[in-house]
Amino acid sequence: MRKFMLFTMIITLLLAVNAGADEFTLKSSDLEGQLTLSQVFSGFGCSGQNISPSLKWLNAPRNTKSFAVTVYDPDAPTGSGWWHWVIFNIPAGINELKANAGQIEKKLAPAGSIQSITDFGKPGFGGACPPQGDKAHRYIFTVYALSTEKLDLDEKTPPAMVGYFLNNFTIARASLISYYKR
């Protein structure tokens, strides 16, 4: 009986310790439940500011060698969703992207990172712009902890191809979802 009680106490203690373990997490001081005009595209009938939000990730796995960030709208009426941002080869020592890092000419993205083309047909951040009157779309911001220092891809690589490589090298991922309707 004593062994059983000791065993139960040890298991309870281990569960309590693991329950408090920090998990890979993505946060943003710019994002809430709904996107604002800051994150809305400027074009295609939308008149937003097209500013990528600040993103910060915590508690990456120890064996992370680089990061990638994507923004994806699975509700776009294309049959395959819509890629709004794809940035990869973010060095392992970096744990955040500044607001507007998605504007390549601003040079706010981490050195060595690559922003490849989106479904807008060019690299960098392209904000939300769902069809007028459509349901609210989900915008999924995801950070990937990768087991490789670099993806051997460039700024002309299509988002689906980047996604293929991300899936091959992902150790962990964390996401935030915001909505937008116009």
Domains and their CATH numbers in the chain:
23-180 (3.90.280.10)
Which pTM was predicted? 0.88
- Sign of the CA dihedral 61, 65, 71, 76? negative
Read off the pLDDT band of 22 (50, 70, 90): confident
Mean pLDDT of 118-144: 97
**pLDDT on residue 21:** 54
Nearest to 73, CA basis, from 65, 81, 61, 62:
81
User: What is the tens place of the pLDDT at every residue in 63-109?
Assistant: 999 999 999 999 999 999 999 999 999 999 999 999 999 999 999 99
Burial bucket for residue 5 (CB in 10 Å: 0-12, 13-18, 19+) = exposed
Token output for 142: 């995801």
What pLDDT score was predicted for residue 81? 97
